[in-house]
Amino acid sequence: MPASYSAGMIKPVYIRAARAICAQETFPQNELPDQLADATNNTLFYKHPEYSKYFTIMQLRRMSRITRTGLVAAIECLADAGIKKPEAIITGTGKGSITDTEKFIRNIQEFKEGTLNPTPFIQSTYNSLNGLISLHHDTSCYNTTFVHRGHSLELALTDAMLLFNEGSIENALVGSFEEISPEHFIIKQKLGYWKKEPVSCKELLAVETPGSIAGEGTFFFVLQKGPEGAMAKLHAMRLLFEPTEEILTEAIKQLLEDHQLSSGDIDLVFLGDNGDIRHKGNYMAVAGMFSNEVHVQGFKQACGEFDTAAGFALWLAVLAAKNQRIYEGLTIRQGNRPSYKNILIYNNYNGQQHSIYLVQQAH
């Protein structure tokens, strides 16, 4: 992975549909409720949709937790866009199906590497969800999964943008998916990812201790080449690996200049502040680039921390651009801009993979 990578010179793409399933009740109405759910034992778990509307009992028995969630999100996203067969299916995930991976490893130990149930192995592979989406929509289109920790979703989006750029496709289903299990929570707790003390989501950004709260989420987007019927435009992205605060702020400034913008043109900023005091400096430096007129919001107090949490911010940015509405419960700093034409997202995962998105109104 290079120290930095820019998708800024690739042509912008338009987002026609966006769907989110996470710890909040986002799926039924495709919007964030005013009352946010709080964490349980420092973890924000999925609010699962009603799966019986989509699958039979026999189908559900064979599906894992993450494939149920991912397939339902993909089905509704494509339905919103009015597309039956996408021309590309591209996803990103940091860990894939943790539950099935753990089940497969336990079976190896229990049966002493003898006759094993193949289902957990099949569903533990990173691209199993892509295969199910493809089978469900009866398509053999371009199908790829990126597994690059905190840059998984961004590389999936970049791949789609490259396909649009070379004229290979007219639309693409792009998404990310992640889950947390009790065992995986313990492993990451030992690595210092989570706060030691119980924390409410409302207090997450104010507690000045190391660590965050765990989360999980699945997000899908239908991308297209033109603006017809689009909710928002993904104008550019910039990826950085372990930058200093100076390099980070310079990268944001350069990204805006490359697109004939300045910090004064940004109306809304989403920050991936997860309450970890070790990474607070990066977020304060980015917030400091913008005047008090600019709205600054967080998003990890609603979804928790995981490799592809930026998908939640992208979903929020798309809704803000389309509906011209932001959610009071996510406010870090209240601005006074009356509309949200230019939106910047900055996120970093564990201080290593840093991502910058520039999202704009579609029209």
What is the pTM (predicted TM-score) of this model? 0.95
Examine the pLDDT at 143 and tell me if it is beyond 90: yes
- Tell me the percentage of the chain whose pLDDT exceeds 90: 87
Q: Report the distance separating Cα 172 and Cα 320, nearest Å.
A: 22
Alpha carbon distance 363, 232 (integer Å): 8
Average pLDDT along the chain: 94
Say if residue 8's pLDDT is above 80: no
**How many residues appear in the chain?**
363
- Confidence class for position 2, pLDDT limits 50, 70, 90: very low
Q: What is the pLDDT of residues 65-116, one digit of tens each?
A: 999 999 999 999 999 999 999 999 999 999 988 888 888 888 888 888 887 8
Which of 34-48, 97-111, 141-155, 201-215 shows the lowest mean pLDDT across its residues?
A: 97-111
Distance CA 114, CA 105 (A): 12
Tens-place pLDDT, residues 259-276: 999 999 999 999 999 999
